[in-house]
Structure 1
Amino acid sequence: MSSVSIASLIDQSYTMKSFNYLEPAKTDAATFITIMKEADQIGVVAFSTRSRILYPLTTIQSDHKTIYDAINEIKKIQPINMTNIKEAISQGHDILNNAGNPNRAMILLSDGIWNEGGDPLIGLPTDIPIYTIALGDRGQCNFLQEVARRTYGQYHFSPDAFELAEIYNQIADDASVATIAINQKQLIDSYRFTTLPLYVPGGSDHVSLAVNWLDESVTYTTGTPGENQVNILLRDPDGQKIVMPPTFMGNGFVTFHLHDPKPGQWTTGCWCGNMRQNIFRATVGAFEPNSTIKLNCKLAETKMNCGDCLDIKTALESSKDEIGNVIIKTTLESPVNSKDYVLEKYEDEILNTEPDEELMKKGINEIDAKLNTLHKKLLPNVNIFARRQSPVHAKYSQDGVEHEPIKLDVPGNHTIRVDVEGTILRSNTKFTRTRRLSVNVK
């Protein structure tokens, strides 16, 4: 892949802390940078009432200094004040104007509505794609989707902080940082381990493996994991255990870069000690920076109303090798209930609930602020924003991929995930590809 220039725009308004989003967001944004390649460029902007450049656009060198410097600045972010998205986009655009790479993109992460600086859609620059991430559905999801649509980026929805790492992994693929082969959440009990197959196709000269987790108090170890510790397992196709220090390591993440890996089925996984919360929540991402096999997915239409049918355009392309034995699996994740249904069912409880003051300050109406307070109060026994997963029939042929029409019968955010497994026929080695994208339905 050619080199890219990325501006990461991170919401540091106070509600990011009140929803427990800020620390995971910082970890996931930091992990994203460790996936980037030499000659890529990274810049970081943090925004609240005002926007500021945390880290100027800088070219990544082989000594890794740029990556660690950018991560250190991200980790310093603290919550404060309101949300000025317009100024953040302007600053991100400014620093990319002087980018040394033709491929440029912004990543815009926010948990809610803009309430400072004016409407970001007025005068929105459209020459650089913006990949937007809506953290939770309390804010202006339609607005963030429109920003992505107008700039030819991609809108992503994260119902909670745990989903966020998957989205950053996907954006690494969207923005041409690296092709994603694995993007998988892991829920592991204390004293347990899980494994995932990692297929390295023939001809791969570089594979990256990134693992990050929600609880930053969990530490990484190369030995038997003890109290609140995790070990990342890695075995080559011959079953030999690979013992190597992470290329990058920080609070809540490790990233390994494997150069000239042996083709075949590797094994990776997480081995847990006694977890403080009795469960380990992690996301495993595997990336191929120089792959010639690409899974492309897009929605024919993003402005959708309840009752419309979703049309997914999917193509699996190989610019070098013939592929076969393709298996495709598609899943739709949707809200269980509409907001109107929830408001009616919990009418009495909402009436007697004090609204979340921080949301009120940010401009969210009283009913939605009360609904958010009730949601947190009822967890974990009842999730009034529960989501469901449904399989979607898909068929692969040499002419392309066909998905059955999907009728969207509930308003809210819907996420489509497409997973593909296949074989490179010349080398008889397997590969995997995965993709996720979201749409907000009125």
Structure 2
Amino acid sequence: MLMVNGRPMLRPRSGKRATHSNHSRRQVMPNANIVLTLDCSDSMRQYSYFQPAQTDVGTFVNIMNTGDSLGMVGFSDNSWIFFPTSGASQMVAISGQPVQNQAVQAIQSQRTVNMTNMTAAIASAHGMLASSAVPRAIVLLSDGIWNDGGDPLNNLPTDIPIHTIALGPSSGTATLQQIATRTNAQYHYAPTAWDLADIYNSIVQTTGVASVAMNQPQQMQTYSFKQLSVPVTSGNAQAKFSLSWLNTGVTYTSGTPAGPQINISVRNPSGTLVTPSNVAVGPGFAVLTVPNPVAGNWQLGLWAGQTGILDSVAGGFEPSTSAQLKVTFETGDTVAFRTTVVHNGVPLRDIRVDAVCESPVVSVQEALKAYAAELASLAGPADLLADPVARLAILHRQKLGAVDILPRRQYPAVTSEISAGVHRGELLLATVRGSHTVRVTASGQLPDGSPFQRVARVSMTNEVA
């Protein structure tokens, strides 16, 4: 479980998922209540963001558990509830795979049109969750600035966390950061559509669906095979393993991959191939469920057929909350972050903490000046060309094969333990205006000797709304 700004995102209540009787008892996630919002403005299609967003929202839905409740809201000029498919302002309890299949069909049926009304989207999502118990949360995805419905920061409801995702360089990063901060939630920045899957996997943790044991971007090659390690702690009733990929022309197969196919296999810590109890498959994703996993290092095998270069993200999830990772930002003369690792509320020592930071090399304003001549003569959709930053986003996409005009760099952060279970690090290159991201991996052993790993990704922006 990831906690943000000191606020535990998960609270024990009745209706917890059962632990397996053959394992030591663990704290498990209470049933989560989540509304996912999907930006259906036309820029999502024009920037080729919409299909990846549909894939990653569908993956998230299938990582959710029986007993969780789901609602989904689309928005452009206005907002509408598209799940439940009746359009009623009520949550849908996930009673099994048929409900999740219906939700994926609803996601795939959405189309893009017109403007961006975040205010309406928040109001619809908030109305669906008003009577729901905690943990409850809204996930707000947008690739642009609000241009209809008024400023979403005015009269923003703050009683429900709104986790925000700013997608691409023309997104309203400062506004989305403020929405997350004011609602005690988490802000994420996705430079590209590939980053979306990574972010949605991370939000699985912050919304109270499951703990994230592995979250790994992968680039598969034709006829390649990769094996990823996923540490699973003891006492879990199930574990889920996911893979999502950008090219929906590639499909999942349970057999030998032939043509544009990918096979996903799971092996237990003894190396034995395990047959999942359920495999949820949709356009660009597959989620495998293994019941009562033994503790240890599991292996996720990825076997590609004639896929070409396949951008993908693999994830591993468990419902146990016994090992928790908390990441918070500190801003001042420098941008720093703190990580806290606890086991059943007690700080864990002798934990390895690795952190990788990502920062822009140039700001959007600097890029606008550097490419002013090319931007002035740029051709494209009239509605996007009216906005200088949207122009820059179009030029960025056009030139990306030859040069990245909005480059970002990754760099390691050295962390030091400042107290029991607490580590601190700095984003040394967070001086450029823009969104900065830190990815933290905490790993070690629990008191019972079982291995654990927790992964978290969080962003911040030093731009002003």
In structure 1, the partner of 2:425 is 404
Q: How far apart in 1 are the matches of 2:336 and 2:319?
A: 29
The corresponding residue for 2:41 is: 13
Q: Which residue is equivalent to 1:219? A: 251
Matching of residue 82 in structure 1 with residue 110 in structure 2:
no
Residue 133 of structure 1 deviates from its aligned partner by: 0.5
1:3-402 to structure 2, matched below 5 A, reads: 3-56=31-84, 57-99=90-132, 101-244=133-276, 246-275=278-307, 278-301=308-331, 308-319=333-344, 323=348, 325-354=350-379, 356-360=381-385, 365=387, 367-396=388-417, 399-402=420-423
Q: CA deviation at 1:61?
A: 4.1
Q: Is the 8 A contact 1:394 1:402 kept in 2?
A: yes
Counterpart position of 1:438: 459
In structure 1, C-alpha distance between the alignment counterparts of 2:369 and 2:152, rounded to whole Å: 33
Q: TM-score scaled to structure 2, two decimals?
A: 0.88
Residues 219 and 245 of structure 1: CA distance in aligned 2, closer, same or farther (over 3 Å): farther
Q: Measure, in 2, the Cα distance between the counterparts of 1:357 and 1:160.
A: 23
Does the 8 Å contact 1:356/1:373 carry over to 2?
no
Return the alpha-carbon distance in structure 2 between the equivalents of residues 211 and 374 of structure 1.
31
Give 1:273 shift. Answer: 0.6
How many Å apart are 1:251 and its aligned residue? 1.3
- Further displaced range: 261-270 or 410-419: 261-270
Percent of residue pairs identical:
35
Distance in 2, Cα, partners of 1:441 & 1:151: 18
Deviations 1:223-243 (A, max 9, x none): 111111000121111111223
Deviation at 1:246, TM superposition (A): 4.2
**Paired residue for 2:440, among 399, 418, 421?**
418
SS in structure 1 of the partner of residue 121 of structure 2 = helix
1:270 is paired with a residue whose SS is strand
Q: Is the 8 A contact 1:5 1:42 kept in 2?
A: yes
Q: Which residue identity lines up with residue 109 of structure 2 in the other structure?
A: K
Inter-partner Cα distance in structure 1 for 2:354 and 2:303: 28
Asked whether the 8 Å contact 1:324–1:422 carries over to 2, the reply is no
Q: What displacement does 1:386 show?
A: 1.5
| Mapped partners of 2:345, 2:179: distance in 1 | 35
2: distance between equivalents of 1:348 and 1:107?
38
- The code of the aligned residue for 1:415 comes to T
Structure 1 residues 88 and 369 mapped into 2: Cα distance closer, same or farther (>3 Å)? closer
Render the CA deviation track for 1:74-116: whole Å, top value 9, x for unaligned. 11011111111111110101111132x3221100011001111
Are 1:107 and 1:131, in contact at CA under 8 Å, matched by a contact in 2? yes
Cα 1:369–1:105 shift into 2, 3 Å: closer
Aligned residues: 429
Residue in 1 that maps onto 2:12: none
Question: Is the 2:277–2:291 contact (alpha carbons within 8 Å) kept by the matching residues of 1?
Answer: no
| Distance in 2 (alpha carbons) for counterparts of 1:126 and 1:68 | 32
Q: Find the residue that maps to 2:148 and give its secondary structure.
A: coil
Structure 1 residue 324, shift from structure 2 partner: 5.2
Q: Is the CA contact 2:349–2:421 (under 8 Å) kept in the aligned structure 1? A: no
Q: Over residues 266-301 of structure 1, what are the superposed CA-to-partner deviations in whole Å (9 max), with x where a residue is unaligned?
A: 1113110111xx211111111111231110111234
Distance 1:59 1:139, change over 3 A: closer
Partner amino acid for 1:421?
S
Structure 2 alignment gaps of length 5 or more: 1-28, 85-89
Q: Could you tell me whether the CA contact under 8 Å between 1:392 and 1:403 is conserved in 2?
A: no
Counterparts in 2 of 1:105 and 1:412: CA distance versus 1, 3 Å:
same
Deviation, structure 1 residue 154: 0.8
Q: Which amino acid aligns with 1:439?
A: M
**Which amino acid in 2 is paired with 1:432?**
Q
Contact 2:327 2:338 in 1 (8 A): yes
Is the Cα contact below 8 Å between 1:330 and 1:418 reproduced in 2? Answer: yes
Query: Residues of 1 paired with 2:170 and 2:116: CA distance?
Result: 14
The change in CA–CA distance for 1:96 and 1:59 in structure 2 (over 3 A counts) is: same
1:335–1:414 Cα contact (<8 Å) kept: yes
SS of alignment partner, residue 247 of structure 1: strand
Cα displacement (A) at 1:325? 4.1
SS at match of 2:274: coil
Query: Is 346-355 or 5-14 further displaced after alignment?
Result: 346-355
Which consecutive unaligned segments of at least 5 residues does structure 1 have?
none
Distance 2:456 2:154 in 1: 31
Query: Counterpart of 1:417 in 2: which secondary structure?
Result: strand
Equivalent residue letter for 1:231: N
Q: Distance in 1 between matches of 2:274 and 2:66?
A: 24
In 2, Cα distance between equivalents of 1:298 and 1:415: 12
